[in-house]
Amino acid sequence: MANSHVLISSQTLGSTATSVTFSSISGAYRDLRLVITGTTTTSTVDAIILQFNGDTGSNYSVVYATGDGTSATSATQATTYLSSGVIGTSQSVSTIDIMDYAQADKHKTTLVRGNTPAWGTRMIAGRWASTAAITSIVVKTEAALTFSAGDSFYLYGVLG
Amino acid sequence: MAYNLIQTQTVSTAVPSITFSSIPQGYTDLYLVISARSSFATGSVSDLYVYFNGTTTGYTSRWLQGNGASASSSTSTAPADPLVTMANVAANTFNSVSVYIPNYAGSANKSYTLDDVTEDNSTTAYQRIVASLWSNTAAITSLTVSEANGANLVTGSTASLYGIN
């Protein structure tokens, strides 16, 4: 496999935090990939959410399927943020692919895998209803939980 | 994110397992790709185990599965537990598995992602996504892919391990 992914920025938390921000993202790549590993300090599981370019409007929608070890479910969500993974008190990992993030003629779509092994696994297809190029990303959890010290956030640019 | 091939192993004579040992510790993540078929001949699918450092305990997983007719979810304490295509289904069909292991050299428990498909040109085929956790803080220095029912991985089965940095 060729060197198709370029590390744009990585953040490993030295102390707890409620949000992580990537700003001044270059438009030089085809897609973005965000890899998040770690835990929260206060809940079994919560959704990881993203907001692009500071947009807090109702411009985000997703469809997802979840397996929690007992049942398989699917649902949709349209709200002020983009559900983009899961995190809990067991070591979790989410991978988020953001397609054509710098294109100015299309809404931005995402493909996500989120795993919290003590809770379950989720796959998500998302859309940000904006034609603006993505230049910043804020990462939080849906219930405003706290990311733990040592959690890591890696943002890659995908060549293409 | 460069994918650096650490090693590819191809089964030339049927064996029960494949092991990658002395895995370099200089990468950020590991990525494992498996194409395998089992000699086990009872039922339509068997299981693989993927385990670390020779240890088969401390694993938990939850998966979401579709079989062409319905979706389901369950749990497992087996190591990773992807499905593998069987000996008694269409010839020349193998499963496809990818395993993404972030922070494999770190000191936290190892949480990783697994995707698995078996497609054998029959009515029922399986796609499974798995959230897995190895509750062990040791750095991963070896990785084993093993047929779970005591059978063999047949000739032509392959496993490739990449280091990501």
Residue A156, pLDDT > 70, answer: yes
- B49 near B80, Cβ under 8 Å? yes
* Burial class of residue B35 (count of CB atoms within 10 Å of its CB; 0-12, 13-18, 19+): middle
Which amino acid makes up residue B9? Q
Higher pLDDT, B99 or B42: B99
User: Mean of the per-residue pLDDT values for chain B?
Assistant: 90
CB under 8 Å to B14, separation ≥6 — which residues? B39, B152, B153, B154, B155
Q: How confident is the model at residue A3 (pLDDT cuts 50, 70, 90)?
A: low
**Least trusted range by pLDDT, from A43-47, A71-75, B53-57:** A43-47
Q: Which region among A14-18, B21-25, B111-115, B138-142 has the lowest average model confidence (pLDDT)?
A: B111-115
Give the Cβ contact number of residue B38 at 10 Å: 28
Q: Counting every residue, how long is chain A? A: 160
CB contact residues (below 8 A), chain A span 72-131, against chain B:
72, 74, 90-93, 95, 113, 115-123
Q: What is the pLDDT of residue B1?
A: 63
- The pLDDT of residue A2 is above 60: no
Any chain A CB within 8 A of the CB of B61?
A: yes
Q: What pLDDT is recorded for position B43?
A: 76
Q: Please judge whether A91 and B3 are an interchain contact, meaning their C-beta atoms are less than 8 angstroms apart.
A: no
Chain B hits for A72, CB-CB cut-off 8 Å, are 64-65, 71-73
Is B121 buried (19+), middle (13-18) or exposed (0-12) by CB count in 10 A? exposed
Per-residue CA distances from A86 to A3, A19, A71, B22 (Å): 28, 14, 17, 32
Across the interface, do A37 and B103 touch by the CB < 8 Å criterion? Answer: yes
Distance CA A26, CA A13 (A): 23
Q: What are phi and psi of A62, to 5 degrees?
A: -140, 160
Domains of chain B: 3-164 (2.60.120)
> Among A8-12, A94-98, B115-119, whose mean pLDDT is lowest?
B115-119
Enter the pTM of the model.
Answer: 0.87
Band the pLDDT of A20: cuts 50, 70, 90: very high
> How many residues are recorded in chain B?
165
- Which of the four pLDDT bands, split at 50, 70 and 90, describes residue B89? confident
Closest CA to B97 of B130, B55, B120: B130
B68 touches chain A (CB under 8 A): no
At B90, is the pLDDT very low, low, confident or very high (cuts 50, 70, 90)? confident
Find how far residue A137's CA is from the centre of its chain: 9
Residue with the bigger pLDDT between A5 and A64: it is A64
A117 with B162: Cβ contact below 8 A: no
Higher pLDDT, A79 or B79: A79
Query: What's the order of all strands across the beta sheet hosting B158-164?
Result: B3-10, B158-164, B29-35, B96-102, B110-118, B126-134, B59-66, B71-76
Q: Which two tokens stand for residue B78?
A: 């087996």
With beta carbons less than 8 A apart as the criterion, state whether B111 and B140 touch. no
**What is the ipTM for the molecules in this complex?**
0.78
Q: Are A75 and A135 in contact (CB under 8 A)?
A: no
Residue A125 gets the label, from left (phi > 0), alpha (psi -120 to 50) or beta, of beta
A126-143 residue pLDDT tens: 999 999 999 999 999 999
Torsion of CA B84, B88, B91, B97, to 10 degrees: 0
- E strands, chain A, are 5-12, 20-22, 31-38, 45-52, 60-67, 72-79, 82-88, 92-99, 108-116, 120-128, 137-141, 152-158
Mean pLDDT of B105-111: 93
